[in-house]
Structure 1
């Protein structure tokens, strides 16, 4: 990690910037230009101190939760929730978002997603991406070429081209969350934020092109926990607009409500971003992860196994309905969540079951009042679109104000009844190990047993394992104690269980994945994010 990127000569870098990687990435010199690096360095120098303060504020707040406090609606912002105001008008390109597809930023995925017939495509540098430096640079190159309409890709047996511009999905980009570093870039010998790298590089190269085409630029903002974090993004993007010569408010954003604390501050988040926000999204999987992590100190807040924690559970239904009501009251769109099921080309019955599950999920969303939804696979776009076309013939449901919704703090914190089966416990171990192995091999979005798994679902499984094992008095449905003996038996049996299968991504990294999961699960302290220690391993590789 000590060599300067070979395709970016040191003479082209601002003196205060170091690119610390030995990997040669073709085309990197056209992305990491001197002007681009100077732009990112300026963002770092202006805003990274505040970012670190915000992360410290998260830790302080979590300590209060660990000490007996519970999330509540803020008393100091009651006037924001109770007063009358709306967000700025939504751009025409974003008024109809009935089906959005998400996925990593490799060229093939970008082309297939933009060509998929979806309303929008969220190119994901966060939960769907294993952030090796070549992957990040390749993604930025793909997005630049996509914005210019020149992206193509040739594999061993097929060539991929973008369709006509007017038929393409609208491009959104999700940078990494505030907590994630970009170890390969140092500014004044300080590690750069992954948020500032991903957003800064993308905006520097593409903002003017997309603004001229009336297509943004558009971002998805992940993992926010408080309105102060939304204000940080507001200030970063306002400064970026000034530096790039864009009209103020032209960078539009959608915020994922995927943490429990943020669910109590939706009005506030909309308010501080009101001149640029288009909507909020139900990031359901990360939200479940955040629920477990935030309430980890509460024995009465343990969730049952993952497959029992569906959006039909009252606490998740309350969260989704509150999001819809809040957005529509303020003139913002309310996006639904991800359908994790994926088509199965080799098993007709399994395929039909998956499609039925997706249809049911989308019917639930559209009838609740959502304005659009997410899918993870191009094969699901038509399924989701058919449901939304049937129940929502108009562009959106902003007129559906859901005045009937009455959600309290207790509703958001109510824990569902359920059980933990032997199969459910073993599945949590297997999914987390398999995803970690794939992630360490450079794959951040992995099909496992008919579901498209990303970092969010891996976070659910490993936090549930930690919570269950540290409970001290928990048993499986059959009466077996949930303890280290049970956990170790699952870990020991896993390599032989997976040895004969041909669908294992990153097989060579399974031993490292097992070791990491063992360390995280047996630690007395719950690690804040799985991807932080995993990124350190990734850098060593």
Structure 2
């Protein structure tokens, strides 16, 4: 067990969450000292950076579009590369993702995918129980000790001999872990997730020929990447872990960040191995960043595909940027999932996922994400057919010619023949409420309408509705979207859910949707007020 450099005074860290076996296992005296140290060193900078996010949003609201930063032009033009990628991380053709739940983790690590992203973020509901038991599950998975007993089905699960690599995604800088305070302040959820994962597992992972490999979510600026880099350097030094052992992939899932991919890679160049095209959060962020601009109102979600101009430009630039810096370009998640009880649904899902993955590998991606084990084969076959005997497309001698600096392809949100149908807005309201209800009750990955939904799609759902109300967007039947229509649709979903017997946290989910879809200045993230409900309602599962 590693030890932090020093143990701070007693009482500096206070656990407000329910005591359990998991709390005893992960919040040891030494781990608490490590968290206290991280909080005291880095939380002030985190809060300051969150303040600058608000300032930038005010600029965007006044008509200033995100674009390439003139002060970092030299970084974009420079001839440099990230540190060499460890050999095991060069083959990431298919990564499966899911929350840090024992059964999910076992199935994913046994799936045969090249990697599994264990998620503390968008596909996990951050109840105290989920978060601390998630840490235990990661510890046990690293040590190949993770098991699960399904009492209902009478079935046992354990890890097999598959070589699937483990990566972990933490919650973003904007979130707190309200169940733990340091010096009377809530600790950053990012520092809590990273701190415990790194403290308990980094040395063990290195001893097993793997390493502390992570995903970073929701970055909006290269200074936020620099903060992570400083956290990594300090954490490695504090625990005697060799520098640059940490390797991360950053999700480019915010509109401001797409203009700073070089800068993010540069800030993390000793610790980064790739970028991932987080398409769903990217759409949400594009809406949020340009919310006051009536010329950038997007049509319903199903029409904003990766073939649309600004989405194609986004993924194309990500591939070209990462390969120029000799890093991996990871494709994103197609939301379609199979249904083993419905062959027609499965056939449609497999065809849609195949087309999506063929498009990604032909664009130059080195790997991709899937949300279900039954999609691994079709995704792998798409990449294998194109790559032949190669495992990636990272060039050994990249062309260092600077990329163009015209932001227009990324800023032009036009969608040919885009529309908002009555069914489209109804779907947004329905998915937004039903997903939020699931999230509030402790389930962060929900299969709705044969799609795998997580917090990102709920964010799109409510912010699109906000944007349509804000600009009085017209439906295809001629009606204008207004608050009265939204309230009517919310009541339809409330009634349908009650009739189906799904009443737990239903009223809270409906009220939260109305609040975040109709407020003059909605919360930047749905999960912020939703998390307040989790903590005040003391939801535990």
| Counterpart selection for 1:158 from 155, 158, 165 | 155
SS in 2 for 1:27: helix
Return the alpha-carbon distance in structure 1 between the equivalents of residues 483 and 40 of structure 2: 46
Aligned-pair distance for 1:212?
1.6
Alignment of 1:460-475 (within 5 A): 460-472=460-472, 474-475=473-474
Alignment of 1:1-400 (within 5 A): 14-21=10-17, 23-156=18-151, 157-164=154-161, 167-393=162-388, 394-399=390-395
Return the alpha-carbon distance in structure 2 between the equivalents of residues 30 and 350 of structure 1: 43
Return the alpha-carbon distance in structure 2 between the equivalents of residues 387 and 159 of structure 1: 33
Q: Please give the per-residue CA displacement for 1:15-58, whole angstroms capped at 9, x wherever unaligned.
A: 2010012x242332111101001101100000000000110111
Return the alpha-carbon distance in structure 2 between the equivalents of residues 214 and 66 of structure 1: 48
Q: Contact conserved, 1:12 with 1:34, CA < 8 A, in 2?
A: no
Aligned-pair distance for 1:434?
0.2
Match in the other structure for 1:495 = 494
Return the alpha-carbon distance in structure 2 between the equivalents of residues 406 and 388 of structure 1: 28
Q: Please give the per-residue CA displacement for 1:54-94, whole angstroms capped at 9, x wherever unaligned.
A: 10111111111111211111111111111100111000110
Return the alpha-carbon distance in structure 2 between the equivalents of residues 388 and 286 of structure 1: 24
Aligned-pair distance for 1:179?
0.2
Return the alpha-carbon distance in structure 2 between the equivalents of residues 244 and 510 of structure 1: 45
Return the alpha-carbon distance in structure 2 between the equivalents of residues 368 and 377 of structure 1: 23
SS in 1 for 2:197: helix
SS in 1 for 2:157: strand
Deviates more, 1:200-209 or 1:65-74: 65-74
Aligned-pair distance for 1:301?
0.8
| Counterpart selection for 1:519 from 515, 520, 539 | 515
SS in 1 for 2:21: coil
SS in 2 for 1:214: coil
Point out where structure 1 has 5 or more consecutive residues left out of the alignment.
1-10
Match in the other structure for 1:3 = none
Match in the other structure for 1:5 = none
Name the CA shift for 1:464/1:427 in 2 (closer, same or farther; >3 Å): same
Aligned-pair distance for 1:170?
0.7
Name the CA shift for 1:215/1:14 in 2 (closer, same or farther; >3 Å): farther
Match in the other structure for 2:434 = 434
Return the alpha-carbon distance in structure 2 between the equivalents of residues 39 and 245 of structure 1: 13
Aligned-pair distance for 1:12?
12
Query: 1:456 aligned to 2:452?
Result: no
Match in the other structure for 2:4 = none
Q: CA RMSD in A?
A: 1.7
SS in 1 for 2:251: strand
Q: Contact conserved, 1:176 with 1:194, CA < 8 A, in 2?
A: yes
SS in 2 for 1:182: strand
TM-score scaled by length of structure 2: 0.94
Return the alpha-carbon distance in structure 1 between the equivalents of residues 197 and 9 of structure 2: 18
Deviates more, 1:216-225 or 1:479-488: 479-488
| Counterpart selection for 1:536 from 525, 532, 540 | 532
Q: Contact conserved, 1:117 with 1:169, CA < 8 A, in 2?
A: yes
Q: Contact conserved, 1:252 with 1:276, CA < 8 A, in 2?
A: yes
| Counterpart selection for 1:411 from 402, 409, 412 | 409
State the number of aligned residues.
524
Aligned-pair distance for 1:197?
0.2
Q: Please give the per-residue CA displacement for 1:467-501, whole angstroms capped at 9, x wherever unaligned.
A: 111113x2101101211221121112113333454
Point out where structure 2 has 5 or more consecutive residues left out of the alignment.
1-6
Return the alpha-carbon distance in structure 2 between the equivalents of residues 278 and 178 of structure 1: 20
